[in-house]
Each structure stands twice: as structure tokens, then as C-alpha cells.
Amino acid sequence: MLAGTAILFSLLTLALAWMVVWQRKRFAQRIAEIELRRLRAQIDPHFLFNTLNAISELGYDDPEAADSAITTLSGLLRTSLAETRQQEISLQAELEFLDDYLSLQRLLTRDDLSASVLADPRAAHARVPAMILQPLVENALTHGRPLGGKGRIDISTRRDEETLHIEVRDNGPGFESGSPGTGRKGIGIANTRARLDYLYAGKAMLEFRNADEGGTVACLTLPFREAP
């Protein structure tokens, strides 16, 4: 009888401990989801405000181009809202969103911008945070413009076994050398780093460096995970 009671007590203790661990895990996951939504909520209005401001300025000189930009922006917002509940999407979907974003930027700059995308087909279905590249490109457009020349953005993706490498390169003046991993800052970049921390728990990295041939390179490294 005593042995049976002891066994039953041990099983109940183990079950209770398991429930506590499970509840803590669910609570931590819920907190992370709330924080990730907060960070996304900061990025979207930031992007919208900057774009609407640029369209407003364009409207004085070229109303037709401004109207076309509003139409493109509407499509981008529909895509963004449709992905609000998805923290991760496929890299292919992210690049398609980015292509529309760059089309909008070309309208706003009156084609004073060129862009290229070199995508590794082995990485097309990798999972990446939704809208992770837009702040990097926006940062490059803001700070990486060459003085008196045409802006250029080059994006490349590469899968290296279980690691995904993404680079966003501009042809601007670069930044003053500082400690490793520093460079550009701002709301978009700070939130991007925070999202990476929450999603990958230190297994992802975002660094900036000056390119040998000029300009700045944003280097994003993620664990490779296949999207459904």
C-alpha cells in the first residue's frame, strides 16, 4: 500500500512539474508573439509615413507619377496586411514584395534608381521574417545614395548548407569605420535586429560593412529552414 502511494505521489509530482514547464513555455511563446507584433506595428507605419511623404512631394511636379505610386502603394499595403499574422514567409514571397517596393521607389525617384536581384534557387523556399528586407533597402536608399549619381541596390541570396545568407549592397559613400558590426542605425534597423533576436534567439545576425569597391553591404545571416 505504501509503495503504491509513493508511486502515485511521484507520478502526480512529475505531472505537475511537466504542467508548470509547459505553461511557462506557452507563456514565454505568447510574450514573444506579442513583442513581435509590436515590432511589426512600428515598422509598417514608419514605411507608410515615409512613402506618403515622398508621394506628396512628387504630386506637385508629376501628378500622373504620383497617382501611379499610390496604386503601387495600395498593392503593397494589401500584401503587408495579408501577412500581418505570419511572422515568417518564404524568401521567394519576400523578394516579390521587395520587387514591388523597388518599383514604387523608382516611381518616386523618377527612375533615378537601378536594382538587381541575384537569387540562389536552392534558397527560394527558405523561411524568412516577413518584411525583413524592406527596412534594409529603405536604409540603403536613405543613407547609401551616391553624391550626384544614380542610386543602385544589389540584392543577393545564397544558401550554405544550413545557413541562409542575404546581402543588400548600395553604391553610396559608405560609413565611417567604427567597431565591427556597426554602421547604420534607425527605427527600422533597430526593430529588425530585435525581431531577429526574438525569432532566432541569437542564431541570426545583421551586420554592416563597407565594400572594398565602395558602398555599404548589409549582411543578414539566418538559419536555413524550409517553408511549407
Span 81-90, pLDDT tens digits: 665 567 788 9
Type of residue at 23 = Q
Question: What confidence score (pLDDT) does residue 199 get?
Answer: 85
C-alpha grid cell, residue 12: 502526480
Question: What confidence score (pLDDT) does residue 223 get?
Answer: 95
C-alpha grid cell, residue 92: 521567394
Q: Which stretch, 1-15, 35-49, 92-106, 142-156, has highest mean pLDDT?
A: 92-106
Question: What confidence score (pLDDT) does residue 125 get?
Answer: 92
Instruction: Name the band, by pLDDT with cuts 50, 70 and 90, for residue 162.
Output: very high
Question: What confidence score (pLDDT) does residue 117 get?
Answer: 92
Cβ neighbours of residue 52 under 8 Å, at least 6 residues apart? 73
Instruction: Name the band, by pLDDT with cuts 50, 70 and 90, for residue 55.
Output: confident
CB contact at 8 A, 163 and 223: yes
Question: What confidence score (pLDDT) does residue 92 get?
Answer: 93
C-alpha 66/C-alpha 87 separation (Å) is 31
C-alpha grid cell, residue 161: 548548407
C-alpha 135/C-alpha 47 separation (Å) is 8
Question: What confidence score (pLDDT) does residue 14 get?
Answer: 72
Instruction: Tell me the percentage of the chain whose pLDDT exceeds 90.
Output: 25
Instruction: Tell me the percentage of the chain whose pLDDT exceeds 70.
Output: 74
Question: What confidence score (pLDDT) does residue 204 get?
Answer: 94
Span 205-221, pLDDT tens digits: 999 999 888 889 999 99
pLDDT exceeds cutoff 60 at 178: no
